[in-house]
Amino acid sequence: MSFDDYKAVIDEGDTVILYLTISQIYSIRAEAKTLSKKGVEVENVFQTPYGALKCADLIGKPYGSKITLSKGWGYVMQPTPELWTQTLPHRTQIIYTPDISMIILQLEIAPGSIVVESGTGSGSLSHALIRAVKPTGHLYTFDFHKNRVELVREEFAQHGLSDYVTVSQRDVCSSGFGDELENKADSVFLDLPHPWQAIPHTLNVIKETGGRICSFSPCIEQVQKSCEVLSKLGFQEIQTMEVLQTSYSVQTRKLPVLDLDFLKSEKDGTETKGKEREVVKCVTAVPPASMPGHTGYLTFASLPPVWARSLQISLNQAQEDNSPDL
Amino acid sequence: MSFDDYKAVIDEGDTVILYLTISQIYSIRAEAKTLSKKGVEVENVFQTPYGALKCADLIGKPYGSKITLSKGWGYVMQPTPELWTQTLPHRTQIIYTPDISMIILQLEIAPGSIVVESGTGSGSLSHALIRAVKPTGHLYTFDFHKNRVELVREEFAQHGLSDYVTVSQRDVCSSGFGDELENKADSVFLDLPHPWQAIPHTLNVIKETGGRICSFSPCIEQVQKSCEVLSKLGFQEIQTMEVLQTSYSVQTRKLPVLDLDFLKSEKDGTETKGKEREVVKCVTAVPPASMPGHTGYLTFASLPPVWARSLQISLNQAQEDNSPDL
Amino acid sequence: MDQNVIKVGDFVIVQRQGYTKLHKLKAHGTLSLGSFTVELDNIVGEKYGATFQMKNFPGNRKLFTLEKVDEMPGITSINIEKSGLDNRNITDDGQSQNLTTEDISKLKSEELNSNSIVEKLINNSKTFNSKTEYSQEKYIKKKEKKYFEYVQIRRPTIRLLATMFYRQDPSKTLGIRIDDLSQILTYSNIQSQGTHLLYDSGTSGLLPAALLHQLGGGSPAHLIHLHPGNECQKSALVAMNFPPEQLNRCINVNLYSVLRCYYQQKETFDDPPASKKMKIEEGAVPKKPNWQMENERACQLLNKGVDSLIIASKEHPNALVSQLAQFLTGGRNLIVFNQSREPLQDLYLHLKEKLDFIHIKIVTNFMRNYQVLANRTHPEVNMTTGGYILTAFKLK
Amino acid sequence: MDQNVIKVGDFVIVQRQGYTKLHKLKAHGTLSLGSFTVELDNIVGEKYGATFQMKNFPGNRKLFTLEKVDEMPGITSINIEKSGLDNRNITDDGQSQNLTTEDISKLKSEELNSNSIVEKLINNSKTFNSKTEYSQEKYIKKKEKKYFEYVQIRRPTIRLLATMFYRQDPSKTLGIRIDDLSQILTYSNIQSQGTHLLYDSGTSGLLPAALLHQLGGGSPAHLIHLHPGNECQKSALVAMNFPPEQLNRCINVNLYSVLRCYYQQKETFDDPPASKKMKIEEGAVPKKPNWQMENERACQLLNKGVDSLIIASKEHPNALVSQLAQFLTGGRNLIVFNQSREPLQDLYLHLKEKLDFIHIKIVTNFMRNYQVLANRTHPEVNMTTGGYILTAFKLK
């Protein structure tokens, strides 16, 4: 119940982020009991590299406080969509914070927005969308897979977010988004293998006053087909981009300074390495050895208000005719 | 005549690089006379933002020395392929040094190598290829356009490089590279609108002991078609990459340091901005406001030696059959 | 009143091809757009998203008016007949165009049609045919842009403002690019709740506007916007046409002034809400100046602790963080933006030493746009550089 | 002798899928390749570029031998029948595989066929079916790689060595990535002429090998390779199988030792070439130790001036440049590589102050590889970071 509003203290049932080091971050539940793999109720104990943690002990602890473990310590954080993205159980490839951030800004989402998402996947983006639209807006999220839908619905309930989100099982490519959503959405997000099949259906869900759309695709061929369909349907401001984030740690490195001037005067041939111990300190930001080289392409577009749509279609066609061949 | 070997002093006829500032670099010829646009012989004077330069005055000056202009000064440099790339007359989009560097290393070019290039374009890459293969190797370069061929041939002569290069007019896509080059080349470079049409012809020019190929293409569709053809023909180690270079200048910035602690004690409400004049110096590398976001994709591949080619084809086909659908 | 209708008093974005301009719509106002002066009267009462054609104003060559268009005429492409071989002999001495400025101005006033004007310019250019094909295409694009006759009227959004400001001059927003802005918003965990503290020494109001947008309308959340000068920068804040209720929850106060107020009157802020107290006082003492009321309002909120601390400063961040971190509630995030990496490295080491922050990271982004067209798909050939963001989590 | 034939004494690169290993071929030698020990006798006398299959050695389960293959059997893909929903319940407790190490070893020794082994591993895995499809594909790829039965023998090249060293451990080459290396070579303007001066404090011989490769065989050019220790690193230098004439033009000398020699015997280096002089002396005095001969040979060349100065150091570059720039002829280039930007910033400011260098730049690269496959084209999901290169032009 810990994803809505800012909290001071851990309540029973809260999802809690346990921080050990910058690369050891886990999500656990502040509950005394849990179900074992065999479905039996057992004590809820989380094993960390620094010793076991009885989850019941977390209840009543302030967020941001230090937790002692048998062989070290950790800190408890209130979950944010960003921390959840780092710790959630992967059911699919997920969307990460740099892309999520760009999606929310480009789709112009704010409290009150009605947002449509397909597919839900592991719910990484969904949590950030809900934070942005609540309490007066709503997220309608669709996934093709029944089990994913059930799991993510349960997660939203555990996280206290059920009021702000509706999860449905649906193949939006073949069936569209349903009549209830007709002309309701401010923006639509698609993360589908064949987004170009779903794009025509988005014309029905976007408000008459217009709206924004985003399609996330790992492969350039998906982007090519999507852009073609978007242009034909009269979307404007079609823009494809890529955001890659590098994360640095800061280190102080010591560089030896060679003293070579003494060689000009000194005549005897003693140890050659004798004089190089002087060092200079150098503060530097160190990137990781390997970093994300690609997540996906983000394609954004605007659907104009109904009163400007037909004009836009003729404009797009004219531009296409006008473009020279390679 | 100044592109071959390292020179100390400017001779008559040398192409000379005039350096004014990091963004004002020009190539001029150390000759007393030049032809005007109307074909009349006139005095060879180069106009700079810092005054006129009589090119005849350069003869006999050491490379690396300072040249006084009427309103400032400049420096004379012996041309390198890199400086030439910065100053050459553009007849086409050209290939720049970061890509050129990668091409030469990946094509494993060294003195003695026989290299085939198409198209020659403005000769930017050609100069670097010649530097790498001379004096015992040779560059065979082809262009579709008659006039480009003539201009670049003249340039090579002026630069003293004619012994190391043969320029021919030819549409290699339709006509191949000619019988004289059969099984002669260590490596082949293609910068063509439809490289996949030329790739089959490269099988005839590459040595029986195998060789390397590179195709430079701005658009991903060209890459897709080229890779498909390369794979079918039994090339191996097919690799597509992109190199983007950022160039920094180093600056010392002064950041104001705010003194806010005094607010805790001081009681009177005097000028709020009175105390912020302390500064801290910060050395930082400043990237340009806008940098190259794309030049082209470089696709490299190896043609195995004849004794291993058929095996490679079957291997490539097996891999393709094996790859799952999206 | 229909908020889709363009009204006098609205801030609007006038878009002409890729170019956008922010404008406050006055009755009978004009706007200069490239080389044109345009009368905007005809857009009032029309709807956002509509497209207008610039037409010469009868009887005034210099002035253009806007006429709503509902369909586009067919656009024909310009044929290039002959191209040169290289750029060796092309010197731009300003003498290559036979048409005078006066001629061109006349062309514009007869009928503004970018296609026909560009064709006339080409026909009267001495050098066009000797330019390379590559330069010719560039020339046509540039001129078409200059004489393009259609504009669209858009309602300002954070996305459009961020893009426009950065394109005009990155220093207008301290170098905050759209990806930077988007990540500042997510890492600060901002939402329609809580109190948020921002120090901003000059983003043209973009950062407070973006944060306020995420707080939403009719919510209990507040933004305390600290600034270093006498007045805060607020271009983007006013451009967003926020309803007064929402705009009022952004408390703009001077950094020094509010800190002085906080330290001097600390004991009073634990009292019941300021609004009540003020009312009682109103009758007794002379009304306080507005800035003082705002300072006290901010101090009441600061005293309870804030749910995010965001800094985008020209000044070195260490002193600012040292001073302002006291207001940040334990368990919440600090976000510091800078165009250079070095000041954030200093801050990183400073925070590591002090031990009350964990999960400290510095991030930066590579962002690139793509041209996606049949057989011509590639990344755009120009790319910008963004800034750096330090994020850290405050311990209890 | 045909240089395409694999000979005892050659350095060869053994490639198995994306993995490569450098090996000096001895008579009757073995090589460990992943979990396999492989006998290499069968490759001697075959040609570079050939493909071999690993086959169990009769009578010795642990040992594999290589058999040349001329055609590949058809490869069938592995079908995934059932996938799990998320990775929530997958704990890698090492108990999920029913086959014992002994069982697997037996499978390998019966017939090494990655496809059939992977299928058996899957059939005997308790958790495979509950993994997500995504994890299953990863598992199959990983296992296929482990049991892949074909290897190829390649002749070492700079490209292959640079790629292999960086993949194994970037610190092996001071962080020099292939793009860095390529640009060091072009900016130094190296070619089959002149004298080139390199200080290298540990690139496993990659940098001297790459420079020597550009000097070519049978050329008059020299490389003076300064190193900080008793011996220089030379893995890549020897791996390249350079002819002795070429290898001999790379003069490997200790930095301190050669500088001392230079300062102490400065006046003698203007004399006729050392070789002549040496011959005369040979009869009279005892032969000098080899390192002393090399020092004198280097000093002769240094005294005439060098045509490029290249530094890739662990040490701060300022002192090195201050000392070594005296040998760089005016009109030639200085190239300094570092994995961090900061030491080069220091050098940049140092050079700006001193005024004898112009055209000073620091560059770095973004390099990315692509997967190009029908309908699945995208940049590779992992990317590395390169280093920084400072270039500067020395004035006369």
- ipTM associated with this complex: 0.92
Number of H helices, E strands in chain C: 13, 16
pLDDT of residue B324: 40
**Of A6, A63, A243, which is closest to C194 when you measure between CB atoms?**
A6
Work out the mean pLDDT of chain D and round it to a whole number: 88
Task: Report pLDDT digits (tens) over D195-212.
Answer: 999 999 999 999 999 999
Mean per-residue pLDDT, C196-202: 97
CB C108, CB C117: distance < 8 Å? yes
Q: How far apart are CA A213 and CA A207, in angstroms?
A: 12
**Of B91, B283, B297, which is closest to C85 when you measure between CB atoms?**
B91
| Lowest-confidence pick of B175-184, B255-264, C150-159, C252-261 | B255-264
pLDDT of residue B48: 94
Provide the shortest C-alpha distance from residue C331 to chain B (in Å): 25
Q: Does residue D267 lie within any of the structural domains?
A: yes
Contact flag B110-D214 (C-beta cutoff 8 Å): yes
Q: Which residues of B touch D83 (CB under 8 A)?
A: none
Q: How far apart are CA C158 and CA C175, in angstroms?
A: 16
CB C392, CB C334: distance < 8 Å? yes
User: Which is more confident, C163 or A259?
Assistant: C163
Contact flag B111-D51 (C-beta cutoff 8 Å): no
User: Which is more confident, D341 or D76?
Assistant: D341
Q: Which residues of C touch A77 (CB under 8 A)?
A: 331, 359, 393
Q: How far apart are CA C331 and CA A62, in angstroms?
A: 8
Provide the shortest C-alpha distance from residue D7 to chain B (in Å): 17
Contact flag C364-A249 (C-beta cutoff 8 Å): no
The answer for residues whose C-beta is within 8 angstroms of residue D355's C-beta and 6 or more apart is none
Q: How far apart are CA C306 and CA C264, in angstroms?
A: 20
Judging by DSSP bridges, how do beta strands B15-21 and B72-77 pair with one another?
antiparallel
pLDDT of residue D111: 73
Closest chain B residue to the Cα of C340, Cα to Cα: B284
Judging by DSSP bridges, how do beta strands B114-118 and D306-312 pair with one another?
unpaired
Q: How far apart are CA B182 and CA B205, in angstroms?
A: 4
DSSP letters of C11-26?
A: EEEEEETTEEEEEE--
Q: How far apart are CA D124 and CA D131, in angstroms?
A: 14
Q: How far apart are CA D97 and CA D95, in angstroms?
A: 6
Which B-chain residues 211-270 have CB contacts (< 8 A) with chain A?
A: 219-220
Q: How far apart are CA D59 and CA D61, in angstroms?
A: 6
Judging by DSSP bridges, how do beta strands C357-371 and C388-394 pair with one another?
antiparallel
C229 CB neighbour count, 10 Å cutoff: 12
- For residue A268, pLDDT beyond 80: no
Is A171 annotated in a binding site? The answer is yes
Expressed in angstroms, the distance from the first to the final Cα of chain B is: 57
The answer for residues whose C-beta is within 8 angstroms of residue B88's C-beta and 6 or more apart is B27, B94, B122, B123, B124
pLDDT of residue B317: 59
CB of D313 within 8 Å of a chain B CB? The answer is no
**Of C47, C77, C159, which is closest to A106 when you measure between CB atoms?**
C159
**Of B145, B263, B291, which is closest to C383 when you measure between CB atoms?**
B291
In the structure, what pLDDT confidence band is assigned to residue C139 with cuts at 50, 70 and 90? confident
The closest of D219, B298, B187, D215 to D207, measured between CA atoms, is D215
Which C-chain residues 44-73 have CB contacts (< 8 A) with chain A?
A: 47-51, 69-72
Q: Does residue D31 lie within any of the structural domains?
A: no
Tokens of A175: 């069936």
pLDDT of residue D77: 62
- Quick check: helix, strand or coil at residue B274? coil
The closest of D242, D247, D253, D246 to D300, measured between CA atoms, is D253
Q: Does residue C1 lie within any of the structural domains?
A: no
Closest chain B residue to the Cα of D340, Cα to Cα: B285
Beta bridge partners, D21, equal D14
Tokens of C155: 């309602």
Mean per-residue pLDDT, C87-114: 72
Helix C255-264 to helix C290-304 angle, to the nearest 10 degrees?
70
Task: Check residue A324 and report its DSSP letter.
Answer: P
- For residue A53, pLDDT beyond 90: yes
**Of D69, D346, D377, which is closest to B311 when you measure between CB atoms?**
D69
Work out the mean pLDDT of chain A and round it to a whole number: 91
DSSP letters of D230-272?
A: SS---HHHHHTT--HHHHTTEEEEEHHHHHHHHHHSGGGGGSS
Task: Report pLDDT digits (tens) over B94-129.
Answer: 999 999 999 999 999 999 999 999 999 999 999 999
**Of C263, C341, C368, which is closest to B263 when you measure between CB atoms?**
C263
Q: Does residue D301 lie within any of the structural domains?
A: yes
Domain count, chain D: 1
pLDDT of residue C82: 73
User: Which is more confident, D169 or C102?
Assistant: D169
Residue whose pair of structure tokens reads 């049409």 in the numeric block: B197
Contact flag C319-B260 (C-beta cutoff 8 Å): yes
Q: Which domain holds residue C212?
A: 158-394
Q: Which amino acid would we find at residue C163?
A: T
Work out the mean pLDDT of chain B and round it to a whole number: 91
Contact flag C87-B295 (C-beta cutoff 8 Å): no
C208 and C345 in a common domain: yes
CB of A131 within 8 Å of a chain C CB? The answer is yes
Q: How far apart are CA C319 and CA C228, in angstroms?
A: 14
Is B139 annotated in a binding site? The answer is no
Q: Which amino acid would we find at residue A238?
A: I
CB D326, CB D305: distance < 8 Å? no
User: Which is more confident, D71 or D310?
Assistant: D310
Task: Report pLDDT digits (tens) over B191-220.
Answer: 999 999 999 999 999 999 999 999 999 999
Which A-chain residues 146-205 have CB contacts (< 8 A) with chain C?
A: none
Q: How far apart are CA D186 and CA B103, in angstroms?
A: 11
Q: How far apart are CA A149 and CA A167, in angstroms?
A: 6
Is B143 annotated in a binding site? The answer is yes
- For residue B269, pLDDT beyond 60: no
pLDDT of residue D272: 52
Q: How far apart are CA A104 and CA C185, in angstroms?
A: 9
Q: Which amino acid would we find at residue C250?
A: C
Boundary (domain end) residue, out of C57, C72, C87: C72
* CATH code where residue D378 lies: 3.40.50.150
Q: Does residue D381 lie within any of the structural domains?
A: yes
Which chains share 3+ C-beta pairs under 8 angstroms with A? B, C, D
pLDDT of residue B315: 64
User: Which is more confident, D81 or C157?
Assistant: C157
Contact flag B261-C323 (C-beta cutoff 8 Å): yes
Q: Which residues of B touch A193 (CB under 8 A)?
A: 326
The answer for residues whose C-beta is within 8 angstroms of residue D72's C-beta and 6 or more apart is B311, B314, B315, B318, D150
Q: Domain coordinates of chain A in residue numbers? A: 15-79, 86-244+294-321
Contact flag B321-D158 (C-beta cutoff 8 Å): no
pLDDT of residue B25: 96
Q: Which amino acid would we find at residue A293?
A: G
Mean per-residue pLDDT, A241-248: 96
Q: Which of A212, A217, A245, A295 would you mutate first to test chain C, the one with the most C CBs within 10 A?
A: A245
CA C100 distance to own-chain centroid: 37
Is B259 annotated in a binding site? The answer is no
Torsion of CA D198, D201, D204, D208, to 10 degrees: 0
In the structure, what pLDDT confidence band is assigned to residue B91 with cuts at 50, 70 and 90? confident
Domain A15-79: give its CATH code: 3.10.330.20
Q: Which residues of B touch C170 (CB under 8 A)?
A: 289
pLDDT of residue A322: 45
Rg (C-alpha) for chain C, rounded Å, is: 26
Is B121 annotated in a binding site? The answer is no
In the structure, what pLDDT confidence band is assigned to residue C125 with cuts at 50, 70 and 90? confident
- For residue A133, pLDDT beyond 60: yes
Rg (C-alpha) for chain B, rounded Å, is: 26
Q: How far apart are CA B313 and CA B41, in angstroms?
A: 60
Task: Report pLDDT digits (tens) over C2-20.
Answer: 789 999 999 999 998 888 9
Work out the mean pLDDT of chain C and round it to a whole number: 88
The closest of D68, D70, D46, D44 to D55, measured between CA atoms, is D68
Tokens of C110: 């007869």
pLDDT of residue A121: 95
Q: How far apart are CA B241 and CA D182, in angstroms?
A: 14
Residue whose pair of structure tokens reads 């990315």 in the numeric block: D368
pLDDT of residue D97: 84
Q: Which residues of A touch D388 (CB under 8 A)?
A: none
Mean per-residue pLDDT, C177-194: 98
Mean per-residue pLDDT, C91-103: 73
User: Which is more confident, A262 or C263?
Assistant: C263
Contact flag B91-C368 (C-beta cutoff 8 Å): no
Helix C101-110 to helix C114-123 angle, to the nearest 10 degrees?
150
Which D-chain residues 164-183 have CB contacts (< 8 A) with chain B?
A: 178-179, 181-183
Q: Please, is A267 exposed, middle or buried when counting C-beta atoms within 10 Å of its C-beta (0-12, 13-18, 19+)? A: exposed
Q: Which residues of A touch B326 (CB under 8 A)?
A: 193, 219
- Quick check: helix, strand or coil at residue D330? strand
Q: What is the largest CA-CA distance in chain A?
A: 93
Judging by DSSP bridges, how do beta strands A114-118 and A138-143 pair with one another?
parallel
CB of C384 within 8 Å of a chain A CB? The answer is no
Judging by DSSP bridges, how do beta strands B211-217 and B187-190 pair with one another?
parallel
Q: Does residue C290 lie within any of the structural domains?
A: yes
In the structure, what pLDDT confidence band is assigned to residue C86 with cuts at 50, 70 and 90? low
**Of A147, A257, A293, which is closest to D383 when you measure between CB atoms?**
A293
pLDDT of residue B316: 64
Q: How far apart are CA C21 and CA C151, in angstroms?
A: 11
The closest of D156, D224, D205 to D3, measured between CA atoms, is D156
CB C384, CB C177: distance < 8 Å? yes
Contact flag A131-C191 (C-beta cutoff 8 Å): yes
- For residue D229, pLDDT beyond 70: yes
Task: Report pLDDT digits (tens) over D35-69.
Answer: 889 999 999 999 999 999 888 877 777 788 999 98
Provide the shortest C-alpha distance from residue C284 to chain A (in Å): 38
DSSP letters of C29-43?
A: -EEEETTEEEE-GGG
The closest of A261, A273, A270 to D227, measured between CA atoms, is A273
Residues A86-244+294-321: name the CATH superfamily. Answer: Vaccinia Virus protein VP39 (3.40.50.150)
Q: Does residue C334 lie within any of the structural domains?
A: yes
**Of A104, A248, A322, which is closest to C75 when you measure between CB atoms?**
A322
CB of D341 within 8 Å of a chain A CB? The answer is yes
- For residue B177, pLDDT beyond 80: yes
- What kind of fold does domain B86-244+293-322 have according to CATH? Rossmann fold (3.40.50)
Q: Does residue C295 lie within any of the structural domains?
A: yes
Which chains share 3+ C-beta pairs under 8 angstroms with D? A, B
- For residue D325, pLDDT beyond 60: yes
Which B-chain residues 66-125 have CB contacts (< 8 A) with chain C?
A: 89-93, 122
Task: Report pLDDT digits (tens) over D116-168.
Answer: 888 888 888 888 887 777 678 788 888 877 778 889 999 999 999 999 999 99
pLDDT of residue C98: 83
- Quick check: helix, strand or coil at residue C201? coil
CB of D134 within 8 Å of a chain A CB? The answer is yes
Q: How far apart are CA C331 and CA B239, in angstroms?
A: 47
CB D224, CB D302: distance < 8 Å? yes
Task: Check residue D5 and report its DSSP letter.
Answer: B
